[in-house]
Chains A and B, each alone.
Chain A
C-alpha cells in the first residue's frame, strides 16, 4: 500500500485540564474514504480540530504527506491542501453564496481554475446556483451544508475533513450529500476523512472505519466487516439482535477497551 496521506499517532488533546483525546492513532490512505464513528462527546470533532491546526495537541503527531503539521496555524495547514468542513457548517452568514464559495478559493491564484470549479460545484448542487446571490445565512440547514462542502472543495484540496455532514438533515438529503461525497472522491481524487454518528451512511460510503469511544480508538476494520459486527449493529445502527441482553452488551463494551 502507498504512503498514507494523513497519519495520526498517539495524539493527546486537552481542553484545559480535560483530556478529550487519549492517545489516538489512525491512517488515511491516499485516495480513500475513511470514517471515524463515535457517539456524542467521543472526541470526533476534537480529532479533526487537532488535525487541522485549530487545537494544539499535548502529545503525538499529525503527518500530512510526510510532513508533521501538528501545532501549525490552521491557515497554513489549509494552504498545504487540507480543507475542513466544520461541524455546524460555519458559513459566512452575511456574504452571498457566491462570495462564500470565492472565499473557499481564497488561497488560489488561478482565476480560470476557480471559475471552472465554481461551475463544477454548481453542477453538484444546482440549488446553490439558484441561490448564488442570496445571503448564506438565509439558506436552510441542508443548503448550508451543501455550501460548506462546496466551499471546502473550492480550494482544490487533496484531503477533505468532513465533520458530521448529516447532522440535522432529512434521510433523503443525507443520501444526496453522501452521493456527492462519493463523487468528489471518485471524480476529483480527493481523499476524505469523514466523522459521523450516522454509522449506516458512513459505513456504506467509506472503505475503512474507526470507532472512537471517550477519546480512544476501540475498533478499526474495513467498513464491510464493521457493518457485520454485532456491537456496531447494536450501538450505531440500532439493530438489536434477538439474543442480545443487557449483560451481554455490557460485556461487549468492555472488550472494546
Chain B
C-alpha cells in the first residue's frame, strides 16, 4: 500500500536480476547481493520487532505505534541535518535521544494508565497514537518524500559483488546496537533489573526496584532503537510520513515468527523475513515480494505455533 509513490523501495536488486544473466558466476553475484540486502532490510525489521518485544515483555502492551516512532526518528534526524545544518552523527544522536525521551514521556503520561485494560483497548490506543504521530509529522515537516543526506553514498566492489554502503551501514549499525543492548541487559544493574521486572513484576516491587520508572526506561529504549532503525533505513526508503507502516507490519510478523517474547527471536525473525522478501521479490512474479513473508509466517504458525525461539506451552510466570 505504501509503495505507491516511493521511488525504488529497495527494488534495486529486482532490476539487477532482470538483466540477462549469462554465467553461473553472475547468478552467484546476484544471490550474494540479494542476501546482503536482505540481511540489511531484515536488520531493520529485527530492530523494530525488538522494540515490540521489549515493551510487550515488560508491560504486556503491544505498541502498534512502533513504526511511527521510527518515522518520527527519521524526521527529527532529517530536520537536524537539513534544516539546522548539523553534522550527520550529531543529528543521529539528537534524534535517538529526543525520540527516546518522547517514548518515556508517552509511557509516563499515557500508557501507564492503560496497563490492565482490555488488550483491544490498548491496541486501539496505540494505533490511534500512530495516526496522531503521522498527522503531526505531516503538519511539522510536510507530506512530501525527503532524502536524508548521509555519509554512506558509495559502493565497494568485492569480487563482482557490489556492496552499497547504505546497506552495509544498516548491518554494521544493527550489530553495534545489539552488542550495546546485550551488554546493557546482561551486565548492568539497571539492565538486569529490567529483565527481572519483565519476568516477575510483583517480585521486582519486593526488591525495591522502581517498576514504573523501569517501564518508562524500556519505552525509551524501544523508541530509541526504532529511531536508530529509521535513520539507518532513511537512505534506502527515503523519508515520508508513511515509512513506518510497512516496516512495522513486517516487524510485527518478525516478532511473531521469533516467538513474541524472545529478543534473539525478534532479530532472527526480522532477518528471515527480510531475506524471504528479497529472494521472493527477485525470483517470484510481482506481488510475491510482499506476501511471501506472511505465507512463511502462516506455515510457521501452523507447524510451530510458539515461534522459532518460543518454548512450547510457555506461560508467563
Tell me the A residues contacting B by CB distance below 8 Å: 52, 54, 73-75, 78-79, 83-84, 86, 90-95, 99, 102-104, 106-107, 137, 151-152, 155
Contacts and interface: CB of A to CB of B under 8 A. Distances in A.
Contacts of A78: 205-208
Nearest to B201: A90
A73 B211 CA distance: 10
B196 interface: yes
A54 B202 contact: yes
Contacts of A94: 195, 199
Nearest to B316: A93
A94 B206 CA distance: 17
Nearest to A75: B208
A83 B205 CA distance: 11
B206 A83 contact: yes
A106 B189 contact: yes
Interface in B17-37: none
A140 B38 CA distance: 45
B206 A106 contact: no
B203 A92 contact: yes
Contacts of B193: 103, 106
Contact of A86 (B196, B203, B208, B211): B203
Contacts of A90: 200, 202-203, 206
Given A79-B208, A93-B317, A86 B192 contact: no
B208 A99 contact: no
Interface in B149-204: 189, 192-193, 195-196, 199-200, 202-204
Contacts of A86: 202-203, 206
A145 B108 CA distance: 35
B203 to A, nearest CB: 4
Contacts of A137: 317
Nearest to B186: A99
A73 B210 CA distance: 9
B192 A103 contact: yes
Given A106-B193, A137-B317, A91 B203 contact: yes
A155 B203 CA distance: 13
Interface of B: 189, 192-193, 195-196, 199-200, 202-211, 317
Nearest to B193: A106
A78 to B, nearest CB: 4
B202 A103 contact: no
A27 B196 CA distance: 33
Contacts of A83: 206
A107 B206 contact: no
8 contacts: A54-B205, A75-B209, A90-B202, A95-B196, A102-B192, A137-B317, A155-B207, A155-B208
Given A102-B192, A106-B189, A137-B317, A92 B199 contact: yes
Given A92-B195, A137-B317, A75 B205 contact: yes
Contact of A107 (B195, B208, B317): B208
Nearest to A89: B203
Contact of B199 (A54, A93, A106, A155): A93
Contact of B206 (A74, A95, A99): A74
Given A90-B200, A93-B317, A137-B317, 13 more contacts: A74-B206, A75-B205, A78-B206, A86-B202, A90-B203, A92-B196, A92-B200, A94-B199, A95-B196, A99-B192, A103-B204, A103-B207, A152-B206
A68 B19 CA distance: 79
Contact of A104 (B195, B199, B207, B210): B207
A74 B317 contact: no
A107 B206 CA distance: 11
Nearest to B214: A75
A86 B205 CA distance: 11
A252 to B, nearest CB: 37
A91 B200 contact: yes
Q: Which of B200, B202, B317 has the most CB of A within 10 A?
A: B200
A93 B195 CA distance: 10
Q: Which 5 A-B pairs have the closest CB atoms?
A: A78-B208, A107-B208, A90-B203, A74-B205, A92-B196
B167 to A, nearest CB: 34
Nearest to A90: B203
A149 to B, nearest CB: 12
A141 to B, nearest CB: 14
